[in-house]
Amino acid sequence: MDGYVFTLLKDMNSGKTKIIYFDCSFGVSGDMILGALFDLGVDFDGWLDEMKKLGLEEGPECETREVRRHGIRGCSFRVNGCEGGGGPARRLDDVEKIIGGCDLDEVIKAKTIAAFERLAACEGEIHGKPTREIQFHELSGLDTIVDIAGTHVALEMLGVDAVHSSPVNVGTGFVEMRHGVLPVPAPAAAKLLEGAPVFSRFEGELTTPTGALLITQLAADFGPIPAMTLLRVGHGAGASDFGHPNILRAFVGEAAGPVRAGLEEIMHIATNIDDMDPRVCGYVCERLLAAGAMDVYTEPIYMKKNRPGFILNVLCAPGMLGDVADYIMRETSTLGVRFQRVSRLCAERETVSVETAHGTVRVKLGRLNDELINVNPEYEDCAEIARENNIPLADVMETARRAAAVKFGGTKKGM
C-alpha cells in the first residue's frame, strides 16, 4: 500500500513465520504486554526514541525494572507520573489529533487510532452517547496512549508476523473507578472482550480495559499455543502483587511457512456495506490484492430497509489480519469487520512455460501428493496469442494445456 498500511508485511514465501503467543492465565494489561515485550528483548532505548515522536509535552517518562511476582521474575513497565490514570479527560478527537500529528510510522498511527476508535464506540454503547462525545476518563491519559502506540511499536521492533492468545482470565470482585465501585471485569473490558473466550479465577481486576482492547485487536485467535519452535519466553509483571503470579507470559517462536500441499490456516475477513460509492469498492479490492491478500471478492445482499448492498470478503495470511482490518475501515464506509480463522486444503502450485505451435505460454500446475491434478494456462498469454493470430482463445488454451500435460505428466482436469 505504498507504505500506507502494509509496510510491516513480509514476504509470505519467506519460509518462516515469527509468532508471539500471550498466555493470559493471570490476566492482561497494557503495561504487562509491554513488560513482556521488553523481557523478550525489545531494545528499551530504541523504543523510547520512537515514543518521543508522540510529541507530547508531558513526556513520556518511562522505566522498566525487574520485579518478583509470587516468586516469579518479571519485567515491570510504567509511565512515571500517571499513577491512578491521571491527565486530561480526552475525547476521540483529541487522541486523533495527537496521534495523527505525530511523527510515528503511518502504520503505527493507523493501528493506534483504530484502537481508540473502537474504544470510543465501546464506551458510547455502554453510556448511550455518540462516539465523538465520549470522554475516555481513566483511559485518556498519557499512559494509555503509550501502552497502545508503544505496543505496536514494540511488536514491529520484534519483527512479529502473527499474534495469538490464550483464553483471558478476567478475575473477579469489584474495582473502584470514576463512576464508583463496579464489578470485575469493568464494563469497558467486558464489552471489548465480546467474542473472545474468557474465564474468571482469582480475586482482583486481572484484565484491564487497555489489556482487553490490545489483546482483542492483536490476536488472530484464542486457544492453545500454536505449533512453533520456541525461541524465548518473556514475563510482563502487573502493578499489583496478588496471592498468585501477576504475570503475563509471552512465547516467541518460529513456524514453518504456509504448507504448499495440504492444510493451511488463513483468515477470512468480511464486512457488509450499503452506503458507499461502488467505484471505491473496485479500488479497495485492487489495493488489497496488490498488498498480498490471497483473494478478495464481493457478494450482493439486501440489508436494512431493503437497501442493496454487498459483502466485502478478504482471504489473507493470519499475520495480515490487523492491517487488512485497519485498511478496510479507513478506505470504506464500514465501521467494523468480522473475522474468523479457517482452514483450507491447498495443492502444491508451480508456474512453468511451455512451447506450443502458436508461441510460448505460461501454465500453472497443481499437484497433490506428487500427482499432477490441474493444468491451467495463463489467460493473458493465451489471449495475446489469440488476438495476434486471429484464432479462437479456446484453441490456444487447449493447445497449451495438452503441451503441459505431455511434458509434465497426465492430469485428471482439462484432458
User: Read out DSSP for 157-213?
Assistant: HHT--EEEE--EE-EESEEEETTEEEESSPHHHHHHTTTS-EE--SBEE-B-HHHHH
Final residue in a domain of this structure, among 300, 316, 346: 346
Q: Is the dihedral of CA 20, 24, 26, 29 positive or negative?
A: positive
CATH of the domain at 273: 3.30.70.1380
Which residues are paired to 183 by β-bridges? 174
Residue 272, in any domain of the structure: yes
Residue 10, in any domain of the structure: no
pLDDT, tens digit only, all 415 positions of the chain: 333 333 333 333 344 678 999 999 999 999 999 999 999 999 999 999 999 998 876 667 899 999 999 889 999 999 876 554 445 667 888 888 889 889 998 888 888 988 888 888 888 888 777 767 777 655 546 788 999 999 999 999 999 988 999 999 999 998 877 667 889 898 999 999 988 999 999 888 999 999 999 999 999 889 889 888 999 999 999 988 787 899 999 999 988 544 344 556 788 999 999 999 989 999 999 999 888 889 999 999 998 888 899 999 999 988 788 889 999 999 999 998 998 888 777 777 788 888 888 888 999 888 776 778 888 999 999 999 999 999 999 999 999 998 888 888 754 444 4
CATH of the domain at 400: 3.10.20.300
Comparing C-alpha atoms, which of 47, 214, 37, 58 is closest to residue 141?
58
**Shared domain check, 169 and 123:** yes
User: Within 10 Å of residue 139's Cβ, how many Cβ atoms?
Assistant: 26
Indicate the SS3 state at residue 36.
helix
Residue 268, in any domain of the structure: yes
Overall size of the chain counted in residues: 415
* pLDDT the model gives residue 259: 37
Say if CB 404 and CB 363 are below 8 A apart: yes
**Shared domain check, 203 and 106:** yes
* pLDDT the model gives residue 57: 66
* pLDDT the model gives residue 89: 67
* pLDDT the model gives residue 243: 79
**Shared domain check, 208 and 174:** yes
Q: Which residue has the cell 515491570?
A: 76
- Structural domain of 341: 262-346
Q: Which residue has the cell 506450443?
A: 356
Residue 336, in any domain of the structure: yes
Final residue in a domain of this structure, among 312, 346, 380: 346
Comparing C-alpha atoms, which of 124, 91, 136 is closest to residue 191?
124
For 278-295, give one letter per residue: b (16+ CB within 10 A) or e: eeebeebbebbeebbbbe
DSSP conformation class of 369? T
Residue 9, in any domain of the structure: no
**Shared domain check, 269 and 400:** no
Q: What is the pTM of this model?
A: 0.60
Q: Which residue has the cell 478475575?
A: 171
Task: Say how many domains are in the chain.
Answer: 3
DSSP conformation class of 275? S
Indicate the SS3 state at residue 243.
coil
**Shared domain check, 209 and 300:** no
The backbone region for 167, taken as left when phi is positive above 0, alpha when psi lies in -120 to 50, beta otherwise, is beta
**Shared domain check, 174 and 51:** yes
Residue 3, in any domain of the structure: no
**Shared domain check, 364 and 315:** no
Comparing C-alpha atoms, which of 318, 301, 403, 408 is closest to residue 359?
403
Residue 6, in any domain of the structure: no
Final residue in a domain of this structure, among 230, 256, 282: 256
**Shared domain check, 404 and 363:** yes
Residue 98, in any domain of the structure: yes
